[in-house]
Structure 1
Amino acid sequence: MTADAGGIELTEPELREVTAYAASCAEPALEIFEADRPDDPRPRAAIGTARAFAGGGVRGKALRDAAWAALKAAKDTNTAAAGEAARAAMAAAGAAYLHPLAKATQVKHILGAAAHAARAAELAAGDDRTVGAERLEQAVRRATPVVIEVLNRFPAAPDGGGRVGELIRALDAGLRPTG
């Protein structure tokens, strides 16, 4: 994908790597969702379609459908933690739709899965924010040089978004060079 007016360069291999990163960040949250809804395969399927795209699959209807299904699964949960876990899976599939637009909102496509997974872990631990911080540290370690390089083409994460927005901004700051 080439940049258009006001855009950035973004190649398909980079998009696949960003999606693989998002899927790896979301996957640990599946156990939180599945503890609440053990017979609901939608979030796991969303992560599976994200992994399929990352591995060379098509960026198309299956990804969109899986992302929407995971979002619907989030609404069918019994706990806020399970809902955030399903949103992490939705964000993993949605990472494939990172656009080459130099807009801060696009950072959510890169870091949203990790932030939702961290929030799910916090809530599952009784809203323990140290658990979320630990998950963000894991997400920083998981980030490949390609993911970091792509992130740095975009403006810093935007304000807003409640606790998940705070987690996105903290992760964004942790992945960008300082100084």
Structure 2
Amino acid sequence: MEDHQALARWAADCAEHVLPHFEQAEPTDDRPRLAIEAAHAWARGEISVTAARDAAFAAHEAAREVSQPAARSAARAAGHAAATAHVITHASHSASYAAKAATQAGADEIATVEERDWQYRQLPDHLRAKIFPASTR
């Protein structure tokens, strides 16, 4: 359970790192931010899995409604962060969408590498090999 909570926090941090891409495009839509907050709240034991999933669905709905690619990927990262409460493998999807948002915003491969390096440094040491096999980092 501790690893599950740690990955939910990490996924939320990954999503929050690129959230400005969404908030610049849709400054009045707080669904992705609420999903990130839900992931953190679930990891602290403050909300149920169902509440976190509801926040995840809302963030994914926001992603479907925005036209800017980096904003869409940032919202999807937030949705997967909250969904990590339900299924642990959503954490890696959150990180992938966050890297995609960084790439779309930066329009080059360097943005992807820099985002993945940042994500790697945020992850607890004992979980790094599980999330970042040597061939994907």
3-state DSSP of counterpart to 1:40: coil
Aligned to 1:155: none
Give the TM-score normalised by structure 2.
0.90
Matched residue of 2:6: which SS? helix
Aligned to 1:172: 132
Which deviations, in whole Å up to 9, do the C-alpha atoms of 1:118-156 show, x marking residues without a partner?
11011112x21110110000111111034337x3xxxxx
> Taking structure 1 as reference, are residues 146 and 55 closer, same or farther at Cα in structure 2, changes over 3 Å only?
farther
**What SS does the aligned partner of 1:96 have?**
coil
Matches within 5 A, 1:80-159: 80-98=69-87, 106=89, 109-125=90-106, 127-148=107-128, 151=130
In structure 1, what is the Cα distance between the partners aligned to 2:42 and 2:126? 17
Aligned to 1:6: none
- Please list, as runs of the form range in 1=range in 2, the aligned pairs for 1:9-88 lying within 5 A after superposition: 12-88=1-77
Residue identity opposite 1:40 in structure 2 = D
> Residue 158 of structure 1 aligns with which residue?
none
Q: Which runs of 5+ in 2 are unaligned?
A: none
Q: Distance in 1 between matches of 2:63 and 2:53?
A: 16
Equivalent residue, structure 2, for 1:161: none
2: CA distance, partners of 1:140 / 1:43: 22
The one-letter amino acid paired with 1:94 is A
**Greater helix proportion:** 2
How many residues were matched structurally?
136
Contact map agreement 1:17 1:146 (CA 8 A) in 2? no
TM-score normalized by structure 1?
0.70
Percent identical residues: 35
CA RMSD of aligned residues (A): 1.9
8 A Cα contact 1:74 1:83, kept in partner: yes
Kept in 2: contact 1:25–1:117 (CA 8 A): yes
